[in-house]
Amino acid sequence: MSQPVRVLFVDDEERILRTLAMQFRRRYQVLTESDPQRVMALLQQQAVDIVVSDQRMPGMSGSQLLEQVQRQYPNTIRILLTGYSDLDAAVDALNSGGIFRYLTKPWVPEEMVETLAQAASLVQRRRTSQSNVLPISQARPASRPRQRARLLLLDNDPQTLAVTQQLCVENQLQLFHARTLDEAVTLLNEQPLDMLVSDIQLDGQDLRPLLMTLAQAHPQLLSIIITPFQDTQVLLKLINQAQIFRYLPKPIRRGMYQRAISTALVQIEEWREQPAPVIARLAEAPVAEQEQNRVTGLMGMLGRLRQRLTA
């Protein structure tokens, strides 16, 4: 019999906690906490697979809490629940807390059910593969040289290109630059890439369907989005359906960009140390028919990439 998935709901409104507990206690082992400042002590006492936290709570925001959870329990899946569209909260939760999903209140019951089902599926898949995962100190022979990480840039902005070139030299990254969507597809099919840096538009083309496709076709490719667009709904989709790694504003701030790359490199190195592919992400499928069609088309165009990853 498989071990049940344990979910912790954090919200200062007891009524909401009771509702969530009643809805999900038959599917999961459910814990609730109304004080975010007690959560870390609770996690020391009980292993939790999924943390679902409200954003606005007295004493500590949800994004601050999930950042602490991410630092101490990085394998815990983190979901942010908020009652309003707050771009800053979403950006903080993604960049500091590495959230799995961003949901808005009042939530659609089916959406919460599906989100937790996806998170629980990821938990179970990780458990199945856990026997193949080794501690970093054991995973790689000491004599094996480190391979340079490969970064693909999808952006024609001169400043972003210049800063990316500098950071690739400083961090010993191999840089590939695509100026069009067709060039990007070619490079993705031909090169074993580790990191993607992209705006959400390239040469007048919307790159969001490509990002959604890559989250499904290549879940270990870490995507850093650098864009002037400030739209909560766009970011919500990129978190949930493209599983982006970081979201940075333009004009680019070099320090923020360096931190994003450094964090990505740590993650890439940890994954490389393992003898079998690590189950990293599980993206939500696009809902809009037009986006579904674009993702299906791009999935076909990335056939060589998918073939290489499944070989």
Looking at every residue in the chain, the average pLDDT score rounds to 90
244-276: pLDDT as tens digits: 999 999 999 999 999 999 999 999 998 888 766
The verdict on 113 and 157 lying in the same domain is no
Whether 156 has a pLDDT exceeding 90, the answer reads yes
Please report where in the chains the tokens 């290489």 appear, as a residue: 308
In terms of C-beta density within 10 A (0-12 exposed, 13-18 middle, 19 or more buried), how is residue 151 classed?
buried
16-31: pLDDT as tens digits: 999 999 999 999 999 9
Can you tell me whether residue 81 is helix, strand or coil? strand
Q: What is the CATH number of the domain that holds 166?
A: 3.40.50.2300
DSSP letters of 126-192? HHHHGGG---HHHHS-TTSPPPPPEEEEE---HHHHHHHHHHHHHTTPEEEEESSHHHHHHHHHHS-
Global pTM reads 0.88
- In this prediction, residue 276 carries a pLDDT of 67
Q: Which of 87, 107, 131 is the last residue of a domain?
A: 131
The verdict on 55 and 183 lying in the same domain is no
Q: Which candidate, 46, 43, 101, places its Cα nearest to that of 77?
A: 101
The verdict on 81 and 52 lying in the same domain is yes
- In this prediction, residue 93 carries a pLDDT of 87
- In this prediction, residue 137 carries a pLDDT of 44
87-144: pLDDT as tens digits: 888 888 899 889 999 998 888 889 999 999 999 999 998 888 765 554 444 444 444 4
- Residue 229 contacts residue 248 (beta carbons within 8 Å): no
The verdict on 212 and 280 lying in the same domain is yes
The verdict on 28 and 159 lying in the same domain is no
212-248: pLDDT as tens digits: 999 999 999 999 999 998 888 889 899 999 999 999 9
Q: How far apart are the first and last CA of the chain?
A: 31
Structural domain including 218 reads 145-310
